[in-house]
Amino acid sequence: MPVIALVGNKGGAGKTTLTVNLAVGLMQSSRVVILDTDPQGSSAQWRAIAEDDAIPNVVAATENLAEQVKALTAENDYVVVDCPPYVQASQTLSILRVSDLALIPVQPSPFDLWASIHIEEAVTEARQQNPALKAVLVINQLEPRTTLSQLMREALVEIEVPVAETAIRRRAIYRASALEGRSVYAMGKRGKDAANELDDLIQEITRL
């Protein structure tokens, strides 16, 4: 699935952090580019301060996203798209129509759960033009010992989008690596556990 869209409906869900680290994980064995369609340009900012050359290029979105995605997929194995934090944004709707997978990070909070309902509706709408579009929820910034985190997977059953078996835990290394313009893969032993869970997620989604 060459086009993976990271989709959210509220800020703070960890969408860009997951975008850049997922892209670096995929880059271990594939040609990868990040398409930054978020007006905030966080992925592009990360790339601008990056000290590590072994990270994907980040390209800014053009007005004709469909043609841009087509051109990028011709040159890369994966195009990882950082979408705006609003599912009804024109960029998000356009990207969903040309994506293979919508990956939806959801924090263990009622607000993220409610926001995910609107993403489900947008995915359903996009499938009218893109019937092959797959969608997966990813529990992000999980704190396993909290009651809310333990109940989150059960609560997500109410949404008709499958939940990835792999959850991404809340780890300080994600913030630390971003401040240094790096991925967790470049953080040595400190980033090993985070890199391992990302690898697990990559294996899971590439089998879909």
All structural domains of the chain with their residue ranges: 3-202
How much is the CA Rg of the chain, to the nearest whole Å? 16
Contact of 10 with 22, CB cutoff 8 Å: no
Tens of pLDDT, residues 173-197: 999 998 888 999 999 999 999 999 9
Contact of 76 with 33, CB cutoff 8 Å: yes
* Cβ within 8 Å of residue 26, ≥6 positions away: 32, 77, 78, 80, 202
Is the CATH number of domain 3-202 3.40.50.300?
yes
Between 194 and 54, residue with greater pLDDT: 194
The 3-state DSSP class for residue 5 equals strand
Angle, CA of 40, 43 and 44, to the nearest 5° = 85
Closest to 27 (Cα-Cα) out of 95, 79, 73, 65: 79
Query: What is the chain's percent helix, strand, coil content, to nearest 5?
Result: 45, 15, 35
Stated pTM of the model: 0.93
User: pLDDT category, 20, cuts 50, 70, 90?
Assistant: very high
Contact of 145 with 208, CB cutoff 8 Å: no
Residue 116 has pLDDT above 80, yes or no: no
The H or E element that residue 202 is part of is helix 192-205
- Percent pLDDT > 70 in the chain is 91
Q: Look at residue 132 in the predicted model and tell me its pLDDT.
A: 96
Contact of 80 with 32, CB cutoff 8 Å: yes
In this structure, what token pair is assigned to residue 55?
């990270």
Q: Do the strands 134-142 and 168-169 form a parallel or antiparallel pair, or are they unpaired?
A: parallel
Tens of pLDDT, residues 126-180: 999 999 999 999 999 888 776 666 677 776 777 788 989 999 999 999 999 988 8
Contact of 105 with 82, CB cutoff 8 Å: no
The mean pLDDT of the chain is: 89
The H or E element that residue 82 is part of is strand 78-82
